Amino acid sequence: MVIPSPLERLPEKLGKPFDVELWIKRDDLIHPVISGNKYRKLKYNLLEVNKNNFNHVLTFGGAHSNHIASTAYLCKQFDLKCTGIIRGEEAKQISPTLKASLEAGMDCQYVSRSEYRNKNTPTYLEALQTKYPSAYIIPEGGANELGIKGCEEIVTECKDLTDFDFITVDCGTGATLAGMVRQLQPHQKAIGVQVLKGQDFISNEVEDFSPNYSDKFEIWTAYHFGGYAKFQPELIQFMRWFYDQTSIKLDPIYTGKQFYAVFDQLKNGFFPKGSRIILTHTGGLQGIEGFEERYGLEIYPNEHRRYKK
C-alpha cells in the first residue's frame, strides 16, 4: 500500500507548448487492485465496518466496476462476507472483474437494470437491510459521506504543491469531486470530466454532497466518447501516445477520457499561461482486460499500434 500516493511532474515537453506545468497524482500506485479513488472511498467505510463489528458488506456495481473489484478484495483481506448487487442479467461469459470478485468470495446477486435504478431509494434499501440484517451497505462507487471524506485527502496530499491552480478528475458520480472541492484554496479550481453520456447531473450530486462550493468546480460533459465504457479511435490513439511519452498507462473508461479532455482543452487555450495543473490518476487499470475482450483490441500492444482485425 503506497500512501500518500506520489505527486509527479509530467515531462516538461508536454506542458511547454502551452506554457503550463503538468503534474499527476499517482493514485494508480496505491495498490494494484484497490487503487485510485476506490481506495479513498472505501477507506473510512471499512473503518466504520470495523468500529461497529459488522461482518458483512453489501454494495452495488456493474460487470466492469472497479468499486466491485476493490470491495471484494478488501473484504477477503478482512475476512468479511461480501455481497454485490450487480446491474444486469448474468452473462454466459462473465467479465474478468466479476470473475476476480467471485474468486475473492463475493456473492454476486444479479438484478435487472430497472430494479437497479432503485438502488438509492429508501424502500429498496430497507428491503435489502431486512434481507441482509447483518450487512453494512455501501452505495455504488462508495458515494456516501465517508467516501467523500476519503476523497478530500487527494487534495490534502498535494500540500507540497500548494500553489497549483487546477486539479482534474474523471467522474462517474459526484462523490470524488465533492470531497476534493472541500479542500481547495481560494485560488484553486477542480474540473470533473464526466465519463457518462447525459446531462450535467454530476454538478447536482457534487452540490448535494458539498453545498456552497459551486464556484470551486466545473464539469466537462463533452468527453464521454459515446457513453460509459464506450470509445472512439482517437481516445485509444491518445492513450498510446501518452504511454509512449510517459510510460504511464491510462484506462479507457475513466482516466483516458479525463487526460484526453485536459490535453484537448490545452489546445483550445482554456488554461491560462503559467498554470499549474494536477491530473488525478484514479486507477482502474484492472478494467482494461475486460474492455479489450469486449471490443477485440489491444490498447497497449508490444509491437504495433493498430486494432486487431
Judge whether 176 and 154 are in contact, CB under 8 Å. Answer: yes
Q: Which residues contact 96 (CB under 8 A, 6 or more apart)?
A: 286, 289, 290, 293
Judge whether 96 and 293 are in contact, CB under 8 Å. Answer: yes
134 as an active site residue: the answer is: no
Would you state the torsion angle of the CA atoms of residues 270, 275, 278, 279, taken in this order, to the nearest 10 degrees? 30
Tell me which residue of 251, 259, 284, 289 sits closest to 35, measured CA to CA. Answer: 284
* Active-site hit among 5, 35, 65, 203: 65
- Give the C-alpha separation, 284 to 32, whole Å: 9
Q: Please, what is the Cα angle at 263 between 261 and 264, to 5 degrees?
A: 60
- Give the C-alpha separation, 211 to 13, whole Å: 38
- In this structure, what are the phi and psi dihedrals at residue 272, rounded to the nearest 5 degrees? -60, 150
3-class SS of residue 282:
coil
Any idea which residues carry the catalytic annotation? 65
